[in-house]
Amino acid sequence: MNPPQKPASKSPAPQPTWWSPKAALGLAFGFAAVAGFPYLASTTRLLAEGKPVTIAAVKDETKKDMMKKEKEHHEHDAKKQREIKSMTVAADGTLYAGGHAGVLRWKDGAWEKLPGFEDEEAKSIVSAPDGSLLVAGKHAAWKHKDGAWSKVYDGDTHSISQAADGTLFVAGPKVGLKKKAPGGEWEMVSEGFEGK
């Protein structure tokens, strides 16, 4: 009879080659410095201004600083929302504009957002010969006709156009220049285009 076998002991998992107590201490100090930087900056500012440095004063100064930065961030976002990247006038005289705010229409002396546009940015807007509105977006190219949006190309596009026969053209950073005839498939047009 064979003696009972001892269960195999598990060896501890090997530590990464970069690991050491000094590395752990360095990481801890690094994280603490990043988390504490706003408070350190506030303390420095209080000292430079000759104001008393107390925990309450540092917390108050840090809170004011964070609120100021948040306000600046919102002002930047608001400015970005007002940025117009492209505009077109439709055959009926309606003015359309696009940018980070999406697609807007000038109607009755005021701007209104066209509902249903699902992209985060309208880079280029064109009035097509068939009366539709074409929009090149950050994630796709779109067509707006009879109050409805449809995606005509999936991918980042910078520009879109339509020929009188209905052939669509799109251009973008990864797209190159492509065309699609009515009922056809997308095909590359920019091969050999050197941009010179």
Domain CATH code at residue 100:
2.120.10.30
- Number of independent structural domains in the chain: 2
Phi, psi of 65 (to 5 degrees): -65, -45
Q: Give the pLDDT confidence score for residue 196 in this predicted structure.
A: 46
Q: Give the pLDDT confidence score for residue 158 in this predicted structure.
A: 92
In a domain, 5, yes or no: no
Q: Give the pLDDT confidence score for residue 194 in this predicted structure.
A: 62
pTM exceeds 0.85 for this model: no
**Unique residue bearing structure tokens 């000759």:** 50
Look up residue 28 and give its DSSP letter.
H
Residues 26 and 61 in one domain: yes
Residue 101 CB neighbour total at 10 angstroms: 19
Domain boundary at 37, 59, 81, which? 81
Residues 89 and 133 in one domain: yes
| Residue 31: domain span | 21-81
CA distance 145 to 132: 5
Q: Give the pLDDT confidence score for residue 121 in this predicted structure.
A: 85
Mean pLDDT by 10 residues, the chain (196 residues): 62 67 75 73 84 85 81 65 84 88 87 84 90 92 92 92 93 89 91 62
Residues 65 and 146 in one domain: no
In a domain, 194, yes or no: no
